[in-house]
Amino acid sequence: MEINNFKAYCDQFDRASSELKLDKDLATLLKYPDRELSVDLPLVRDDKSLTVLRGYRIQHNNARGPFKGGLRFHPCVDKDEVRALSALMTFKTALIDIPFGGGKGGIQVDPEELSTRELEQLTRTFVRAIKPIIGVHTDIPAPDVNTNAQIMAWFMDEYSETHGYTPGIVTGKPISLGGSLGREAATGYGTSIILREVAQHRGIELNGATVVIQGFGNVGTWAAHHLHKFGCKIIAVSDRNGGIVNNNGLDIGALLEHKKESGSIHGFDDTESIDNEAILRLPCDFLIPAALGGVIHKMNANELRCKVVVEAANGPTTPPADDILRHKNIPVIPDILANSGGVVASYYEWVQNLQQHYWDEELVNKKLETKLVNGFYEVAALAHSREELSYRTAAFMIAIKRVADAVTLRGRIS
Ligand code: GLU
């Protein structure tokens, strides 16, 4: 199903800004990105043929601090998607109250089709192409879908070639190159902390709560790991080739081992196969979409049988689906809250890079937990203060207000 991510984001923004009764011109300024850069990236393939790939870095707003947000390598990356994702970063950093703005980048490519050498060359070419608009105090990229610590290491190295050793130019780096302990697990860990608070707040027993996770990459696996530790029963998970289910709960430790050894979740003992659409329809307490955007839409929202949706992915629920879920009394914990653990840990990584002084994992996790718990209760308090406010609209309202105040105080609308 074709989803326009930017249109979906605009709808979310409009709902919250009209609740806030935001001035129309200010709303326009906050809604659209400040700067959009498209680049053509030549790549000499291993067979010596030339491919030219399209890349983007879109800077949405920097009133509260440098632009901040990940880089996505995926065949479906396009300008509208990166636009929407850059805006979500502005409101994510504002909501969780870290001193950053929002940006996003991407390359329209399937990295699985590239060799390691090609992937490294492409990353370096991309860094050279966007170098004029990034900087430690200007714009700081990070991992996102299909990008990882190794790609961030190449990114840092390429930038440092011309600027000297600059670990703070990118976050999500390997620990040995200035990465932060706790960063790799942070997005999924953060999702599990938010889910724990939601359970407590809504009177759902966490121990034994059933969870379905759609997407088993970095975020899905770490969320599963921590939720399993909290006593939840993960009954189904899926990757791009479909899912596996066991209603008695999956042994997550053994599943992670199986994935490491075989490269996939499939073929795991005592499980049945399930397709990626059917997994969304399983009865459960918590459904966690942890893959790509737009997976819960108007054609399938009615069939969901979970108690709560927790958005670990960015933009997994379209606005019409949001409305359907509201009517079905299924609350949606929005992406800008539920997956904000990643960028919070990125902030801690950046702070450590600036100080050249490194923290232990316990300190990172403690600070992360405090930020997320506070963030959830702030959103919950506003959402429950008015009958008609969803968690998403409440989260956007808090965030938009913070960005609006910063833009106004800086005199950007005079
Ligand atoms: N890609 C992640 C996100 O969407 C992390 C961004 C970052 O750490 O800057 O929140």
> pTM for this structure?
0.97
Q: Domain coordinates of the chain in residue numbers? A: 33-167, 186-338
Q: Right CATH number for 33-167 from 3.40.50.10710, 3.40.50.10860, 1.10.150.120, 3.40.47.10?
A: 3.40.50.10860
pLDDT one-digit tens code per residue, 218-253: 999 999 999 999 999 999 999 999 999 999 999 999
- Testing ligand 1's pocket by substitution, the residue of 5, 189, 346, 347 carrying the most ligand atoms inside 8 A of its CB is 346
Report yes or no: 5 and 11 within 8 Å, Cβ to Cβ.
no
pLDDT reading at 115 higher than 70: yes
CA nearest 114: which of 127, 124, 102? 124
Q: What is the mean pLDDT of residues 145-149?
A: 96
pLDDT reading at 310 higher than 60: yes
Report yes or no: 158 and 123 within 8 Å, Cβ to Cβ.
yes
- The response to whether 408 counts as a known ligand-binding position is no
Task: Tell me, yes or no, if the two domains 33-167 and 186-338 fold the same way.
Answer: yes
Residue 2 — pLDDT band, cuts 50, 70, 90? low
Report yes or no: 234 and 250 within 8 Å, Cβ to Cβ.
yes
pLDDT reading at 1 higher than 70: no
End-to-end CA distance of the chain: 43
pLDDT one-digit tens code per residue, 47-77: 999 999 999 999 999 999 999 999 999 999 9
Return the DSSP state at 298.
Answer: T
CA atoms within 13 A on the CB side of 292: 19
Return the DSSP state at 314.
Answer: S
Q: What is the rounded distance in angstroms from the CA atom of residue 386 to the CA atom of residue 379?
A: 12
- The response to whether 7 counts as a known ligand-binding position is no
Residue 7 — pLDDT band, cuts 50, 70, 90? very high
Known catalytic residues?
Answer: 104
pLDDT one-digit tens code per residue, 358-393: 999 999 999 999 999 999 999 999 999 998 899 999
Q: What is the rounded distance in angstroms from the CA atom of residue 410 to the CA atom of residue 396?
A: 21
Q: Would you identify the CATH topology of the domain 186-338? A: Rossmann fold (3.40.50)
Question: What pLDDT shows up at residue 314?
Answer: 95
Amino acid, single-letter form, for residue 132: P
Return the DSSP state at 247.
Answer: T
The least confident of 256-260, 297-301, 386-390 is 386-390
Question: What pLDDT shows up at residue 4?
Answer: 83
Q: What is the mean pLDDT of residues 86-90?
A: 98
Task: Determine what percent of the chain is predicted with pLDDT higher than 90.
Answer: 97
Angle at 144 between CA 182 and CA 165, to 5 degrees: 65
- The response to whether 92 counts as a known ligand-binding position is yes
Task: Determine what percent of the chain is predicted with pLDDT higher than 70.
Answer: 99
Tokens representing 413 are 């609308």
Q: What is the rounded distance in angstroms from the CA atom of residue 374 to the CA atom of residue 20?
A: 22
pLDDT reading at 264 higher than 80: yes
Question: What pLDDT shows up at residue 112?
Answer: 95
- The response to whether 68 counts as a known ligand-binding position is yes
Question: What pLDDT shows up at residue 388?
Answer: 85
Nearest CA to ligand 1 atom 9: 69
Question: What pLDDT shows up at residue 387?
Answer: 82
Distance 378 CA to ligand 1 centre (A): 21
Distance 138 CA to ligand 1 centre (A): 16
- Testing ligand 1's pocket by substitution, the residue of 85, 86, 145, 339 carrying the most ligand atoms inside 8 A of its CB is 339
**Pocket around ligand 1 at a 6 A CB cut-off:** 68-70, 92, 142, 144, 171, 314, 339, 342-343, 346
CB atoms within 10 A of CB 206: 18
pLDDT reading at 352 higher than 70: yes
Question: What pLDDT shows up at residue 70?
Answer: 98
Question: What pLDDT shows up at residue 412?
Answer: 87
Q: What is the mean pLDDT of residues 194-210?
A: 97
pLDDT one-digit tens code per residue, 326-348: 999 999 999 999 999 999 999 99
